[in-house]
Amino acid sequence: MDGRDATHPWSVTTIDIFDQLRDRAAAGKQSVLVTVVNVDGSAYRRPGAKMAVTPTGEPLGAVTPGCLEDPVIDLAQDVAREGTPTIEVFDLTGDDDTWGFGLGCNGIITVLIEPLAASFEAVLDRLEAGESAISATVIASETSTLSVGDRSVFDGEGTPVSVDDHDVADQFGEALRNRVTALSPNGTERVTLDTDDGEVTLFLDGMTPPPELLIFGHHGDVVPVTEVARNVGFRVTVASARGGQAKAENFPAAETVVKTRPPELGGLVDDPTRTYAVIMSHNFIDDRLAFESLLDTEIPYIGLMGPRKRFEQMRDEFREEGRTFTEAELARVATPVGLDLAGSEPTQIALSIVAEALAVANDRDGGRLTTSKGPIHPR
């Protein structure tokens, strides 16, 4: 299975996994999808984490930092041969180390291992089209009519967009749709529903298209920003006011490279709810025009490269023209851009910028985990 670095499956993102699954499905090649569907206690990754495995055992992605990948790959190959989804529970809490020794997860991890089916391809199609999807997948069943792996896919409004032969959506009707519509974006939940034949447990998995990072600039410092952003899961667009610099080969980690006039930068924003922007052309006039264009959109984050006094100069010029900014507008602006990491190497600066954008995308402030209270991830 191809990837940006096939020798390090842990380094890939969910974007890579879904892209590869889509490509393999289009080519008629078999794949196995592994999804964490429950965690009791602590684990490196939470429910919804995914990896893909080819029938020959080539992994893409990882569901633990290496603790369980070997047995998961073995099980995935069994599933590829037999064609039947399965649930596997790995208990890493006890003294009896069935799965290895010195494991640091200290939790009970449940995974669904399934051949890539048409029902999940519906998820991939929606994400590629920029639409969210919620998968409702059977992970336990006391009935004869539903089995592990049976699935229906819903849109964000709770409308089924794909059902399997067993029609999970219709069997549970409003009871399931109400739980689906209540699920937060990218949220997960286990739901147990009653039928006349017994209980059925479903794993609800909300998936949204990846966040977009729009970078305005063309100098060399844009390159490490695109690389770090791509590595953490952003789809990256680089926009340049210099046509000679707007070439894909100059920014290989970017999904899209375009030439645009600075006042038209906001026109590149298709979905403001999941788009974050960084302005770094180092040209004061271009940056000012690009900044004003982005403020006319509803994107939640505009990172502006440069010192505070540069932005104050920009605000003074706007003020002279009768343009002032509301508190809500200023709350979306980050300048100087980035988290306070005190690094001066180009990649360190890029890490600081992307980390701030990622924190905003995840509704976090980017503080130190050691000073926070409660679990790292929502449970």
Each residue of 265-278: pLDDT tens digit?
A: 999 999 999 999 99
pLDDT reported for residue 3 = 40
125 SS3 class: helix
CA–CA distance, 166 with 151 (Å, rounded to integer): 8
**Among 44-53, 134-143, 204-213, where is mean pLDDT lowest?**
44-53
Average pLDDT over residues 90-116: 71
353 SS3 class: helix
Q: Is the pLDDT of residue 104 over 60?
A: no
Q: Maximum distance among all alpha carbons in the chain?
A: 73
294, exposed or middle or buried, with CB in 10 Å at 0-12, 13-18, 19+?
buried
DSSP of 311-331: HHHHHHHHHHTT----HHHHH
Nearest to 42 by CA among 100, 93, 111: 93
Task: Give 101's pLDDT tier (boundaries 50, 70, 90).
Answer: very low
CB neighbours of residue 169 within 10 Å: 22
Q: Is residue 153 within 8 Å of 135, Cβ to Cβ?
A: yes
pLDDT reported for residue 97 = 52
Note the helical H segments in 91-204.
118-128, 168-182
CA–CA distance, 325 with 315 (Å, rounded to integer): 9
pLDDT reported for residue 102 = 45
pLDDT reported for residue 1 = 46
Task: Give 64's pLDDT tier (boundaries 50, 70, 90).
Answer: confident
39, exposed or middle or buried, with CB in 10 Å at 0-12, 13-18, 19+?
buried
- Residue percentage of the chain with pLDDT more than 90: 73
Nearest to 35 by CA among 200, 173, 151, 142: 151
Helix, strand, coil distribution of the chain in percent, nearest 5: 35, 25, 40
Between residues 376 and 108, the one the model is more confident about: 108
CA–CA distance, 188 with 236 (Å, rounded to integer): 26
- Residue percentage of the chain with pLDDT more than 70: 91
Mean pLDDT of the chain: 90
Residue 373's contacts (CB-CB under 8 Å, 6 or more residues apart) are: none
pLDDT reported for residue 376 = 72
Between residues 244 and 191, the one the model is more confident about: 191
Q: Is the pLDDT of residue 7 over 90?
A: no
pLDDT reported for residue 100 = 46
Residue with tokens 């029938």: 55
Long-range contacts (CB closer than 8 Å, 24 or more residues apart) made by 43-47: 43/105, 43/106, 43/107, 43/109, 44/104, 44/105, 46/188, 46/377, 46/379, 47/188, 47/190, 47/203, 47/205
pLDDT reported for residue 95 = 53
Nearest to 63 by CA among 47, 87, 75, 78: 47
Residue pLDDT, tens place only, 218-245: 999 999 999 999 999 999 999 999 888 8
> 160 has which bridge partners?
154
Nearest to 232 by CA among 73, 45, 110, 359: 359
Average pLDDT over residues 315-329: 95
pLDDT reported for residue 260 = 96
**Among 16-20, 266-270, 301-305, where is mean pLDDT lowest?**
16-20
Nearest to 363 by CA among 197, 225, 216, 184: 184
Q: Is the pLDDT of residue 263 over 80?
A: yes
Average pLDDT over residues 179-204: 94
Average pLDDT over residues 139-146: 93
Q: Is residue 98 within 8 Å of 67, Cβ to Cβ?
A: no
74 SS3 class: helix
Q: Is the pLDDT of residue 165 over 90?
A: no
CA–CA distance, 62 with 53 (Å, rounded to integer): 10
